[in-house]
Amino acid sequence: MPDYGDYVFIYDKEGNEYACPMKAIKGQVKKVDKLTEEEKKKCLNMGEVSDVFSTGG
């Protein structure tokens, strides 16, 4: 099971947070708009994840 430390947290221009597996990110990335499309597919939008938990599904 992945550990919290296995992810890097990066942001888009609007301040949305994304959790991306470190092994999926090629290099040191600070912003979502710098990710390739392939890298973006492997990231989780934390706003969407928290919405699921707060609404129950």
pLDDT grade for 51, boundaries at 50, 70 and 90: low
| Residue 15: predicted pLDDT | 86
- Interval 22-30 mean pLDDT: 76
* Helix, strand, or coil (residue 8): strand
Provide the pLDDT confidence category of residue 29 given band limits of 50, 70 and 90.
low
**Cα-flanking dihedrals φ and ψ of residue 2, to 5°?**
-65, 150
